[in-house]
Chains A and B, each alone.
Chain A
Amino acid sequence: QQQVKQSPQSLIVQKGGIPIINCAYENTAFDYFPWYQQFPGKGPALLIAIRPDVSEKKEGRFTISFNKSAKQFSLHIMDSQPGDSATYFCAAKRDTDKLIFGTGTRLQVFP
């Protein structure tokens, strides 16, 4: 119930493509769903986050789609760039709880 399942494990796209990373959860008490971007040797950096009262949130080229009934959420990266090459983690938490991370997706964007 505390798990967050993330797929795919790795993703390769061409520059300009739209990689999509999916996450699923079981605990309906989760109410905050962030995505973190991590470059090698660095800490996770918050990219974008959503709460379950909205179905979509967009910030720049990054969009979260949220499906509360299916207990799924996904990250879309529009017009992907080589600089977006990183590992992306979805996460979930309850209001006063710790972050539960997905297993990560390694994204490579080729020029």
Chain B
Amino acid sequence: EPEVTQTPSHQVTQMGQEVILRCVPISNHLYFYWYRQILGQKVEFLVSFYNNEISEKSEIFDDQFSVERPDGSNFTLKIRSTKLEDSAMYFCASTRLVADTQYFGPGTRLTVL
């Protein structure tokens, strides 16, 4: 069964450093999402991406964040200058049609020291 994959599984970085989180969505999916989950809290929407552009972004997704689909398979989330409060699990999700179920990857745990 096809699945969303994410790398790395755990990323530790120093405050102020740039990080890139990588995702490989399910191959025939067209809509891509990033969500995050601070430890013990609910999953929060960050950004949606379709047709090589951002469809919607939340208040969390400020100028320090960017997304890119650099090739036909990868979908990346970049945090330009990490803050302590960026420490969270980051989940990538994808769906074939926008009204369909979103399938989540296993997540990347980001720890900012």
Binding site for B on A (CB under 8 A): 32, 34, 36, 41-46, 49, 89, 95-104
Contacts and interface: CB of A to CB of B under 8 A. Distances in A.
A95 B43 contact: no
Nearest to A43: B104
B105 A43 contact: yes
Contact of B43 (A41, A46, A49, A89): A89
Given A44-B43, A89-B43, A98 B106 contact: no
B102 interface: yes
B98 A96 contact: yes
A97 to B, nearest CB: 7
A54 B91 CA distance: 30
A101 B105 contact: no
B56 A98 contact: yes
A41 B107 CA distance: 8
B48 interface: yes
A49 B99 CA distance: 12
B interface, over-half SS: strand
28 contacts: A32-B99, A36-B104, A41-B106, A41-B107, A42-B107, A43-B104, A43-B105, A43-B107, A44-B104, A45-B104, A46-B101, A46-B102, A89-B43, A95-B98, A95-B99, A96-B98, A96-B99, A97-B56, A98-B45, A98-B58, A99-B45, A100-B45, A101-B43, A101-B44, A102-B42, A103-B42, A104-B41, A104-B42
Contacts of B58: 98
Nearest to B109: A41
A103 B41 CA distance: 7
Given A45-B104, A89-B43, A95-B98, 12 more contacts: A42-B107, A43-B91, A43-B107, A46-B103, A96-B99, A98-B45, A98-B48, A98-B58, A99-B35, A99-B93, A99-B102, A100-B45
Contacts of B6: 43
Nearest to A95: B99
